[in-house]
Amino acid sequence: NAHDDQNNLRPLDLYHKALGKPRVVALGNLASKALAKFNIRHEVVSHPQYARRFRRYEIIDYASEIKLALDKD
C-alpha cells in the first residue's frame, strides 16, 4: 500500500530505488497519484476491488491488462 496505518504516504521513491527501479503498475487511481508525487513512472489499471466487484467473470482479461501495462515502454 502507498500509505501506512496512520494514512501517511510511504517513501515510495526509496523503495523504488532500492528495488532497482523496476517497472511499476499502479492498481487504481490513488496508487497512481501516490506514485506521481514521487515522479515514479508507471502505468495504471483499475483497482483489484473494482475488478472483483464488476469484472469477476473477466479475471483473465484483468490479468492481461496488468501484463500489458508491465510490457509497455
Q: Say whether pLDDT at 47 is over 80.
A: yes
Phi then psi for 34, rounded to 5 degrees? -65, -45
Q: Read off the pLDDT of residues 13-43 as tens digits, 9 standing for 90 and up.
A: 999 999 999 999 999 999 999 999 999 999 9
CA-to-CA separations, 6 to 10, 23, 52, in angstroms, rounded: 10, 27, 26
Bridge-partner residues for 26, per DSSP? 44
